[in-house]
Amino acid sequence: MMDCERIADYFGAVYEGDSDTQTEKMVKDHLKSCAACREDFKWYGVTIQALANLEQVAPPNDFLKQLNARIDKNPSLFQSIISQIKNLMNSIPTAPVPVGAMSLAFVTVCAFLVYNYPPELSQIGKSGLSLNSTSQNGAITVEPASRPVDPRMVASAPFSSQTAPFSHAYVPYDGPGRSSAVSWRFPTVADEIGADNLTVESPQIDLALKTLKEILPDIQGKLVDEKFRNAFGEALVAVIIPSSRYGDLTSALVNHGAIEVGAKSRESDSPAPAKVDSRNVRLYIRFTQAPK
Amino acid sequence: MTLDLETILNLICLTIASVSLVGSSTDNNDDDEELVKRCAGGDREAFNDLVLKYQKKVFSVAYRFVGDPEEANDLAQEIFTAAYQNLKSFRGDSKFSTWLFQIATNRGKNRFKYLKRRGFFTNKGSSETDDEGDQSHRALPDQTANPEELLSGNQIRKAVIEAINELEPDHREIVILRDIEGLSYDEIARILDLPEGTTKSRLHRARMVVKEKLKKVLS
Ligand SMILES: [Zn+2]
């Protein structure tokens, strides 16, 4: 006779009539003779029934009207930045961030989306702003970044040299439970060129990259460079896209299975996208492996 | 409270019947192809038709992720907006409904994580039933309750909501798709891009978690 620990593994199959007759007979025989498993199986059924019995909810009558109004507002850039901030905050494993910090972060990101220093002025740490949220009261200070210049960041740029390989805004998060000490990790391709505007965490990097390449023509964007570092299971690409299509890009990545699109692992120093001209921005996108 | 095996098996047959009914009704959406083509060509009426066709399902999924009508409305609109904006990149490799549910579950899971981190779900289950005041006392199961009485009780509804609010996102997602929305395993496997075996074992683990919570609260 099957033992009690294994019997539960078959509950789902037996409950849904999805097991072969031999297994079904074994499970039923066990249930007949074992009160504990019988009780457990009863609760398994109660659980499924209770879930199925949850009340139905309907959308409001004017759902379509509301939706069309929302689409017509053409909020793609604005809303995508809001959702980027939400994603960014979401990916930081600490306590809630004050709304004020989010708003100010939003303003800061916006400011750097529309404002650009010429590359030759881009001495990191002087031209940037940092945003700090303190743990005690959620107060926010905006001050010139005092982050030391990482020599790797101003050294060689493996990407096209007429493009500034790093941009100018840093939004470090210094909230509760997060020490200001820099934690050690493997240097990444992004470290070496000092940039990754966006991190895409996906269980299938290949698929995420393919999705990116497929949608670029649709949004009038282009791939500028591409680097792999297989030992760390990541890829880094540089793209130039119209700033208004930023939301489309991130949405498409999320819709094609990326788990997180935000500043997942470099939240303490993720720069804003650099402006190329009046219409286009350059983005460095890092693809990291998510657990399958 | 005890139940004989026959009652349990009867319950099983009922569930199988209802699940297969729902399953078969969601399996025949290839007729969206024409609407999707028109929509990608800029036909807003075609898009509206797709919205009208799927708004109930999408809203329902959204509601189950966030447990609040206003949040659900905002999330459902976000889902359709994303679909509208990305329809040009929809290659038709899958059915439109699968693609739409992929958007819905990705967005739903992200919103759930976001709200959860902010304590949105704390005491959510109990506050939903507060309006009904003392009625919840009457719904407490007693030793003689049969499954039907137990399942119709307010107490169990509250316990289920609390239990799924505590699930981790991957578990919540799969419970929503299968046990609440009644999608087929095949469809769920395609939406989540998982092998069917993984889909089933993940669902089983999620159900066991909910089951333990219900058992603790209700027995
Ligand atoms: Zn047993």
Both B105 and B133 in one domain: the answer is: no
Convert the pLDDT of each residue in B74-110 to its tens digit.
Answer: 999 999 999 998 988 888 888 999 999 999 999 999 9
What per-residue confidence (pLDDT) applies to A141?
29
Q: What is the mean pLDDT of chain A?
A: 63
pLDDT at B176 over 80: yes
Q: Between chains, do A67 and B51 touch, taking CB under 8 Å as contact?
A: yes
Please indicate if any CB of chain B lies within 8 Å of the CB of A5. Answer: no
Both B91 and B129 in one domain: the answer is: no
What share of chain A in percent tops pLDDT 70? 46
Q: Which domain-ending residue is among B94, B117, B140?
A: B117
Report which of residues A244 and B144 the model is more confident about. Answer: A244
* Chain A environment of B60 (Cβ under 8 Å): 56-57
- B75 assigned to some structural domain: yes
Q: Between chains, do A49 and B60 touch, taking CB under 8 Å as contact?
A: no
CA distances from B15 to A90, A254, B179 (A): 37, 34, 10
Convert the pLDDT of each residue in A211-224 to its tens digit.
Answer: 888 888 888 888 87
- Interior/surface letters A231-254, b for 16+ CB within 10 angstroms, e for the rest: eeebbbbbbbbbbbbbbbbbbbbb
Residue pair B206/B192 in contact by the 8 Å Cβ criterion: no
Q: How far apart are CA A275 and CA A281, in angstroms?
A: 4
Chain B residue with minimum CA distance to A252: B86
Retrieve residue B139's tokens: 């719904």
Both B113 and B134 in one domain: the answer is: no
| DSSP secondary structure, B127-189, as one string | HHHHTTTTHHHHTS--TT--HHHHHH-HHHHHHHHHHHHTS-HHHHHHHIIIIIT---HHHHH
Domain with B59 in it: what CATH number?
1.10.1740.10
* Chain A environment of B85 (Cβ under 8 Å): 76, 247-248, 251
Report which of residues B175 and A143 the model is more confident about. Answer: B175
What per-residue confidence (pLDDT) applies to A86?
52
Q: How far apart are CA A237 and CA A256, in angstroms?
A: 17
Ligand 1 centre to CA of A266 (Å) is 49
* Chain A environment of B118 (Cβ under 8 Å): 96
Both B144 and B107 in one domain: the answer is: no
Please indicate if any CB of chain B lies within 8 Å of the CB of A251. Answer: yes
Both B83 and B164 in one domain: the answer is: no
- B124 assigned to some structural domain: yes
Please indicate if any CB of chain B lies within 8 Å of the CB of A17. Answer: yes
What per-residue confidence (pLDDT) applies to A261?
67
* Chain B environment of A25 (Cβ under 8 Å): none
Convert the pLDDT of each residue in B12-29 to its tens digit.
Answer: 544 444 444 344 444 444
Total domain count, chain B: 2
Residue pair A169/A81 in contact by the 8 Å Cβ criterion: no
Both B123 and B218 in one domain: the answer is: yes
Confidence class for position B136, pLDDT limits 50, 70, 90: very low
Report which of residues A283 and B64 the model is more confident about. Answer: B64
Q: Which domain holds residue B201?
A: 119-219
* Chain A environment of B102 (Cβ under 8 Å): 255-257
Residue pair A247/A162 in contact by the 8 Å Cβ criterion: no
Confidence class for position A196, pLDDT limits 50, 70, 90: low
Both B111 and B124 in one domain: the answer is: no
Q: How far apart are CA B87 and CA A84, in angstroms?
A: 21
Q: Between chains, do B59 and A57 touch, taking CB under 8 Å as contact?
A: yes
Domain with B161 in it: what CATH number?
1.10.10.10
Both B99 and B175 in one domain: the answer is: no
Q: Between chains, do B77 and A42 touch, taking CB under 8 Å as contact?
A: no
Convert the pLDDT of each residue in A162-190 to its tens digit.
Answer: 333 333 222 233 333 333 333 333 334 44
- B15 assigned to some structural domain: no
Of A153-157, A176-180, A190-194, highest mean pLDDT: A190-194
Least confident of A29-38, A113-122, A231-240: A113-122
Retrieve residue B165's tokens: 């609010």
Residue pair A124/A147 in contact by the 8 Å Cβ criterion: yes
Q: Which domain-ending residue is among B87, B117, B147?
A: B117
Report which of residues A185 and A28 the model is more confident about. Answer: A28
Q: How far apart are CA A76 and CA A71, in angstroms?
A: 9
pLDDT at A232 over 80: no
Retrieve residue A81's tokens: 């930045």
Please indicate if any CB of chain B lies within 8 Å of the CB of A250. Answer: no
Report which of residues B64 and A108 the model is more confident about. Answer: B64
Please indicate if any CB of chain B lies within 8 Å of the CB of A62. Answer: no
Nearest to B151 among A53, A211, A254 (CB): A53
Predicted TM-score of the model (pTM): 0.54
Please indicate if any CB of chain B lies within 8 Å of the CB of A3. Answer: no
CA-wise closest residue to A203 among A281, A288, A88, A94: A288
Chain A residue with minimum CA distance to B184: A16
Ligand 1 ion local residues (Cβ < 5 A): A 4, 34, 37
Both B132 and B104 in one domain: the answer is: no
Strand ranges for A176-266 from DSSP E: 198-202, 222-229, 234-242, 260-262
Q: Which domain-ending residue is among B67, B84, B117?
A: B117
Both B43 and B54 in one domain: the answer is: yes
Q: What is the mean pLDDT of chain B?
A: 80
Instruction: Find residue A227's DSSP bridge partners.
Output: A236
- B6 assigned to some structural domain: no
- B21 assigned to some structural domain: no
Confidence class for position A29, pLDDT limits 50, 70, 90: very high
How far is B151 from chain A, CA to nearest CA, in Å? 6
Residue pair B58/B106 in contact by the 8 Å Cβ criterion: no
pLDDT at A101 over 70: no
What per-residue confidence (pLDDT) applies to A19?
86
